[in-house]
């Protein structure tokens, strides 16, 4: 994180063809400096709080309280082990990973199955089912909150891992199906027909021919769902609030932040935040093109 900030802070010299130099002087100058300053200021604002958290994670609690802006005098790695074991961050991370393994697999499998059928087959109700799924993107989740709690309770799924996975899957389906339906429509029909002529069943055509062809779309929506489900807070708060040992990572950190007011191990809280932030930021840095494309596609639905 620090390295990107420093590179951004040093704008490279602009290569301007000689014919344009005069004009550049007329329109550029003060305005250029001004706008560059704004751009760099926002780099500091966007990354600053995150870097502050990561640096403070190495300082002892007493120091954080007396001088919040200070540089770590020495690196206190024990904050991280305290966060991991004593503050339960390790348990929360494992919970998050288990839930995500189930929910992401389920979302991708069920989402691509439904999207494939909607995109490539004509049957009565095709359009209605698509609208039903797409319509789900428009409603605020908070409205469904209370009855969902009761539905989960009736099925005996409240405060269970399968229950949380199912909820994640159900609420990820609308956008996943919406996105993948338009993606499956763009794939050529010839390959599918050739497979059928060669005697492949519909199921086999789907898993062996169409899914591999849809890989770019699956990757985009997969990363989108990975981030969305890893970061989920509202659903676990509602459906998984009984036992503190079963909290997922964002939920655990939020409850830790509240309880730290009484216990006061701020170093562990900052270390916990760092543990939660760094992997996501690394995944994002690696896949940033797909992440940006996937997330912005979500806005223009």
Partner 1 sequence: MPPRFTPERVRYDRRYRTLDKYRFVVGFLAVPLAFYALFVISPFLQAIYYSFTDWSGGPVAHFVGFDNYEKMWNDERFWDSLQVSVLLLVIAPVVTLVLGMFFAYMITSGGRHRRGRAIAGVAGSSVYKVVYFFPQVLSVAIIAVVWGRVFNTNSGLINGGLDKAGVDGPAWLGGDETLGLISLLTVISWSFIGFYVVLFSAAMGAIPKDVYEAALLDGAGRARTFFNVTLPLIRDTVRTGWIYMGIQALDTFAICLVMVPPHVLKVTPVFLYERFRDGQYGYATAIGVVLLFLSMAFSLIVMRVGNRDRIEY
Q: Is 30 in the site for partner 1 (CB under 8 A)?
A: no
DSSP state of 205: I
Pure H helices in the chain = 2-9, 21-27, 30-56, 61-66, 78-81, 89-120, 126-135, 141-154, 161-186, 189-197, 202-204, 211-213, 215-230, 234-239, 249-263, 266-286, 288-299
Piece of the chain touching partner 1 by CB under 8 A; list 38-46, 77-85, 86-94, 182-190: 38-46
The footprint of partner 1 on this chain (CB under 8 A) covers a number of residues equal to 110
Question: CA 269: distance to chain centroid?
Answer: 21
Q: Is 29 in the site for partner 1 (CB under 8 A)?
A: no
Among 2, 29, 52, 216, binds partner 1 (CB under 8 A): 52
Q: Please report how close the Cβ of residue 94 comes to partner 1 at its closest, in angstroms.
A: 17
Among 83, 166, 180, 209, binds partner 1 (CB under 8 A): 166
Q: Please report how close the Cβ of residue 188 comes to partner 1 at its closest, in angstroms.
A: 20
Handedness of CA 71, 75, 78, 83 (dihedral sign): positive
Query: Of 38, 156, 168, 39, which Cα lies nearest the Cα of 95?
Result: 168
**Positions in 178-207 near partner 1 (CB under 8 A):** 199-204, 206
Site string for partner 1, 231-270 (x = CB under 8 A): xxxx--------------xxx-xx-xxx-------x--xx
Q: Is 28 in the site for partner 1 (CB under 8 A)?
A: yes
Q: Please report how close the Cβ of residue 146 comes to partner 1 at its closest, in angstroms.
A: 5
Cα–Cα dist 220/232, whole Å: 18
Question: CA 80: distance to chain centroid?
Answer: 23
**Positions in 111-130 near partner 1 (CB under 8 A):** 111, 113-114, 116-118, 121, 123, 129
């Amino acid at each position: 994180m620090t390295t990107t900030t420093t590179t951004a802070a040093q704008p490279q010299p602009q290569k301007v063809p000689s014919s344009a130099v005069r004009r550049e002087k007329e329109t550029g100058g003060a305005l250029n400096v001004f706008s560059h300053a704004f751009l760099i200021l926002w780099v500091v604002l966007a990354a600053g709080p995150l870097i502050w958290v990561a640096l403070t994670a190495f300082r002892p609690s007493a120091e954080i309280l007396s001088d919040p802006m200070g540089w770590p005098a020495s690196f206190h790695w024990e904050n991280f082990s305290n966060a991991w074991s004593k503050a339960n961050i390790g348990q929360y991370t494992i919970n998050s990973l288990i839930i995500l393994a189930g929910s992401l697999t389920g979302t991708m499998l069920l989402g691509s199955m439904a999207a494939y059928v909607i995109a490539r087959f004509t049957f009565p109700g095709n359009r209605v089912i698509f609208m039903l799924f797409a319509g789900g993107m428009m409603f605020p989740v908070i409205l469904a909150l209370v009855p969902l709690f009761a539905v989960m309770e009736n099925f005996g799924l409240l405060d269970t891992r399968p229950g949380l996975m199912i909820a994640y899957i159900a609420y990820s389906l609308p956008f996943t199906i919406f996105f993948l339906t338009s993606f499956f429509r763009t794939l050529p029909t010839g390959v599918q027909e050739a497979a059928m002529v060669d005697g492949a069943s519909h199921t086999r055509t789907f898993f062996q021919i169409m899914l591999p062809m849809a890989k770019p779309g699956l990757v985009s929506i997969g990363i989108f769902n990975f981030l969305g489900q890893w970061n989920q807070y509202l659903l676990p708060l509602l459906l998984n609030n009984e036992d503190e040992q079963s909290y997922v990572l964002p939920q655990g950190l939020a409850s830790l932040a509240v309880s730290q007011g009484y216990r006061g191990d701020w170093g562990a809280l900052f270390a916990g935040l760092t543990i939660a932030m760094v992997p996501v930021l690394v995944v994002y840095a690696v896949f940033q093109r797909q992440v940006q494309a996937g997330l912005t596609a979500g806005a223009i639905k």
